[in-house]
Amino acid sequence: MRKKSGLKLFLIILCIAIASYIALNGLEIGIYRIVPLGEGVQQGLDLKGGLYVVYEADIAPGDPDRDNKIEGAIRVMRNRLDRANQHEATIAPQGTNRIVVEIPGVSNPQELADILMKPAVLEFIGPEGDVIITGKDVKSAKPGYITGQKPVVHFELHPEGAKKFAEATEKYLGKVIKIVLDGNPISQPKVNEEIPNGQGVIEGMENIEEAKTLANLIESGALPVELKQVEVRTIGATLGANALERGILAGIVGLSLVFLFMLVYYRLPGLVADLALVVYALLVMLITVVARITITLPGIAGIVLSIGMAVDANVLIFERMKEELRAGKTMRAALDAGFSKAFSAILDSNVTTLIAGVVLLYFGTGPIQGFAKTLMLGVVVSLFTAVVFTKYVLRLIIDLNVQNKKLYGV
């Protein structure tokens, strides 16, 4: 039993050490490379600087389709930015008819501004000059091949657009339907057959690159509403590189002092709490990178606040545990009683914080939502590390027959 617990404890510490090394330095094995977690974290506009653009949608007051048009415009702009490799950009609605775009770390602001400053209107126009469908009716457009390796564009329409397009292809069979972007024809395909289900192909491309270009123009130009640019700013980082380095140094110093205090005051449980904080930091960074959460100054505040809650949870548990030891209980009984008595208070504080986070996320915008996201993430992770991880590791230590109460801060 003692050997088994010792082996488990050793493996846990070894895994934490390896994970910490990889998180800080990355890892390269053959063609596979894991970058340091710090490089994978997306920094917000206030940390990295960049481009800030506000668009106003031309929507009539009381338009029942307002929300759908705004959502469609955001989707199109997201596609445009992704194609420009601006995956860290954030796009969010503002008020009833505005859209805010923030692009951190822009090296060529004017080029990106040009992409976003030309919101296009896509139309399919019949031989009689009538608009058959518009960009909002287009669900997708992808390049591909048909029989004989002929490059084409496969397109799919939403149900309402499919119905209108079926009527048009029946009416204009054998004639040309122009695809027009911003008043300029980008393709003039001939209707060879009726398209009743909203799924068809556009032929006539010389190569697959031409098909890709046309598909991108159809898909990314499919803005469901006209947009007017009302504000464009190239802004610097609120926190300069030097200040950011100092902030990171301050964080390291602060965490080191917390580690030292927990170790000196609570000893073995304090050491376990320190390990739990390391696990907490690794998990938060990993989830932030995988979930592509953009970190801003308020977001950092949310993480720091949740660190405090993680330490507070451990303090509650260890104090209850010390009380049980002073009352004469065995180590295992004191451990179980300490966690049991402290759990309700820890759960209450974390749940109320999560409720506040949900409210901020729902009603807030921009930086407030960033704070809410990191706070909620930190609370969930800290609850796991403070309760599950700490209790399991302390059990392993007690199984090693470490019975000296002084080592538990009593």
Distance CA 366, CA 102 (A): 9
Query: What pLDDT sits at residue 102?
Result: 81
pTM for this model (two decimals): 0.63
Cα separation, 310 vs 277, in Å, equals 8
- Cα–Cα dist 174/198, whole Å: 18
Which pLDDT belongs to residue 1? Answer: 65
Q: DSSP state, 208? A: H
Q: Is the dihedral of CA 299, 301, 307, 309 positive or negative?
A: negative
State residue 355's pLDDT score.
Answer: 93
Query: 232 has which bridge partners?
Result: 53
Q: What is the pLDDT of residue 111?
A: 63
- The per-residue pLDDT for 376 is 92
What pLDDT is recorded for position 238?
58
- Confidence at residue 406, expressed as pLDDT on a 0 to 100 scale: 80
pLDDT of residue 289: 86
User: pLDDT tens track of the chain, all 410 residues?
Assistant: 677 888 898 999 999 999 999 988 888 877 777 888 877 777 777 777 777 888 888 888 778 778 877 877 787 777 677 666 676 677 888 888 888 888 877 766 666 666 665 656 778 888 888 888 887 788 888 888 887 678 888 888 888 888 999 999 989 988 999 888 766 787 888 888 888 888 888 888 888 878 877 776 776 665 667 778 788 777 766 555 566 677 677 778 878 888 898 889 888 889 999 999 899 989 988 998 888 787 777 888 888 888 888 888 888 888 888 888 888 888 888 888 888 888 888 888 889 999 998 998 887 766 777 788 888 998 999 889 988 999 999 888 888 887 777 887 77
What confidence score (pLDDT) does residue 14 get?
93
8 A C-beta contact, residue 136 and residue 142: no
User: Are 145 and 152 a contacting pair, CB within 8 Å?
Assistant: yes
Task: Determine the pLDDT at residue 134.
Answer: 83
Q: Provide the b/e sequence for 182-199 (b: ≥16 CB within 10 Å).
A: eeeebbebebeebbeebe
Positions of E strands within 163-225? 178-181, 184-187, 199-202
